Amino acid sequence: MKLQLPVHKNEHRTGTVTDLTYEGNGVIKVDHYPIFIPNALPGETIEYVVTKVSKNFAWGRALAWQTKSADRVELADQRYLQTGIAPLGHLSYPAQLKFKQKLLVDLLAKAHLPLEVAPTLGMKTPVRYRNKAQVPVKLIRGRLETGFYKRGSHDLVPIEDFLIQDPVIDQTIVAVRDVLRRHQIPAYDEQTGRGVIRTVMVRRGYYSHEVMVVLITKTKHLPAQQALIAEIVAAVPELKSLVQNINEKQTNKLLGDQNRVLWGQATINDQLLGIDFKISPLSFYQVNPQQTEKLYQTAIEQAKLDGSQTVIDAYCGIGTISLAVAKHAKKVYGVEIVPAAIADAKQNAALNGIDNAEFVVGKAEEQMAKWQAAGLKPDVLIVDPPRKGLAESLIEAAGVMGPQKIIYVSCNPATLVRDLQRLAAVGYQVTQPIQPVDQFPQTTHVESVTVLERTDK
């Protein structure tokens, strides 16, 4: 049986955009059938061509605008929209903040959870905020280029101004690229598996201004090594650490396991809420320091810590939340699955003279059960899980342990809403408006803090 779809491929149509998806695409509906159109905003009437059809939805491309949204920002460089750099770059910043709040509101409504969502805490200057960049290196028409992949592809778009990165990081990438070009270092080719340099990673401390450059290579051998080192050192005044990371596998994974310090230190330092952190090439470290401070501050304030509480920080990474909380708590326990991160967390605790924080390697859901069996009674549980959210077993363990408060730091509204329902089933209710904090301006990512309290004690 041939399906009767309301539109067909290559058809030219006119329509009004009614919604914006969580990926930032405009939606036009034809008899309830959605057509997703990049670079189209709610309220705009556009002429478009249907580029792809499937059973439940289609894709289109905007050709001309009959009316434009008052929230539209004309981007000088349209390439930002096509890459993952700034998929919301065409939307004014106040409208981006509302979009992120509404995304949570809509998901809660769909789940029949009548909860309040506070306005998104945004940045004063919502550009040039990232303290870290990882840029692919490719040979294009015989020239080594650094840039960004087109969304959903491995086509490199050469870019020098990345818009959302610390400008010193942009300058450093260009300087490193020029040194690599000068010595004709071969770029890695994903198809053939040949070549040397895969990715350039740069980090810069927001407060410390210390710069780390990591050259991620396919091969152990780095041609012209001494000259490369000397020239990068000369070109990057704030350089503190130059590292080669070797990734010999034919894989999408960015970083390998082996690091060789080529020059300077193995780590750089930076601060968050006045606490010193050592950051190594493989460490997870929050990329928007200004907003991370707001996010943690919000979590600490909402936990109402007065120095008497015992706190568990599940999914603690290198201990950033744990150490920020330690000053305001009696004792903090952190658990994290990556052993290197726990080693960093312990070192960071010692570096800051913090002796009331204890760190364990493990799965949060398993460690919670162990702590519970050992009789640990936390007053506050802080969770900051990856995108997939909390494991059921962690929620069960939390229910049995019975902390008075749970602070949920979320990077994925969909799993947050699911977990809030599950937490309600074990006796936890949301007691304050959910607070979105914009960690990734110009992108569609939504981070938030939610406070839950035990209702049956």
Q: How far is the CB of 77 from ligand SAH (least distance, A)?
A: 31
Catalytic-role residue among 127, 340, 411, 424: 411
DSSP string, 123-148: -SS-SS-BSEEEEEEEEETTEEEEEE
Three-state secondary structure string covering 329-370: CCEEEEEECCHHHHHHHHHHHHHCCCCCEEEEECCHHHHHHH
Amino acid letter for position 133: A
Among 316, 406, 423, 452, contact with ligand SAH (rule: CB under 6 A) = 316
CA-closest candidate to residue 104, choices 408, 454, 429, 415: 415
Residues 6 or more apart in contact with residue 45 via CB below 8 angstroms = 14, 15, 16, 17, 65, 66, 67
Between 144 and 201, CB nearer to ligand SAH: 201
104/341 with CB nearer ligand SAH: 341
From 229-237, 240-248, 329-337, 419-427, span contacting ligand SAH (CB under 6 A): 329-337
CA dihedral 136, 138, 140, 143 (to 10 degrees): 110
Q: Is 336 annotated as a binding residue?
A: yes
Site for ligand SAH in 273-312 (CB under 6 A): 284, 286
Backbone angles phi, psi at 297, to 5 degrees: -60, -45
Q: How many residues does the chain have?
A: 457
The least distance separating ligand SAH from the CB of residue 210, rounded to whole angstroms, comes to 19
Which of 28, 108, 123, 321 touches ligand SAH by CB under 6 A? 321
CA distance 401 to 21: 38
Task: Choose the stretch contacting ligand SAH; rule: CB under 6 A; options: 99-107, 150-158, 257-265, 330-338.
Answer: 330-338
Smallest separation, CB 302 to ligand SAH (Å) = 16
Q: How far is the CB of 272 from ligand SAH (least distance, A)?
A: 9
Contact 137, 173 (CB under 8 A): no
Helix (H, G, I), strand (E, B) or coil at 205: coil
Interface pick for ligand SAH out of 17, 179, 228, 341 (rule CB under 6 A): 341
- Using the rule CB under 6 A, is 369 a contact of ligand SAH? no
In the bound complex, which residue of the shown chain has the CB atom lying closest to ligand SAH?
Answer: 317
411 catalytic, yes or no? yes
CB-CB contact of 100 with 438 (8 Å) = yes
Q: Pick between residue 341 and residue 452 the one whose CB is nearest to ligand SAH.
A: 341
Q: Measure the CA–CA gap between 404 and 310, rounded to whole angstroms.
A: 11
Closest to ligand SAH by CB, 138 vs 445, is 445
296 is in an annotated binding site: no
Using CB under 6 A, pick the residue from 170, 336, 379, 419 that binds ligand SAH. Answer: 336
Among 384, 419, 438, 447, binds ligand SAH (CB under 6 A): 384
Instruction: Please give the biggest Cα pair distance in the chain.
Output: 72
- The correct pick among 363, 418, 422, 454 for binding ligand SAH (CB under 6 A) is 363
Distance between CA atoms of residues 213 and 414, nearest Å: 35
453 is in an annotated binding site: no
What does the alpha-carbon distance between residue 295 and residue 313 come to, in Å, rounded to a whole number?
Answer: 15
Evaluated on CA atoms 327, 370, 346, 449, the torsion sign reads negative
H/E stretch holding 98: helix 93-110
- In the list 165, 280, 320, 439, the residue contacting ligand SAH (rule: CB under 6 A) is 320
Residue of the chain from 49, 338, 343, 354 that contacts ligand SAH (CB under 6 A): 338
Closest CB to ligand SAH among 300 and 316?
316
Query: Which one, 201 or 341, has the nearer CB to ligand SAH?
Result: 341
- How many CB atoms are closer than 10 A to CB 22? 16
- Chain positions 127 to 166 lying near ligand SAH, rule: CB under 6 A, are none
Tokens of 266: 């193995």
Kindly state the smallest distance separating residue 189's Cβ from ligand SAH, in Å.
Answer: 31
404 labelled binding-site residue: no
List residues forming the annotated binding site for S-adenosyl-L-methionine: 286, 315, 336, 384
List residues forming the annotated binding site: 286, 315, 336, 384
Supply the residues annotated as catalytic.
411
Positions that interact with ligand SAH (CB under 6 A): 284, 286, 315-317, 320-321, 335-338, 341, 363-364, 384, 386
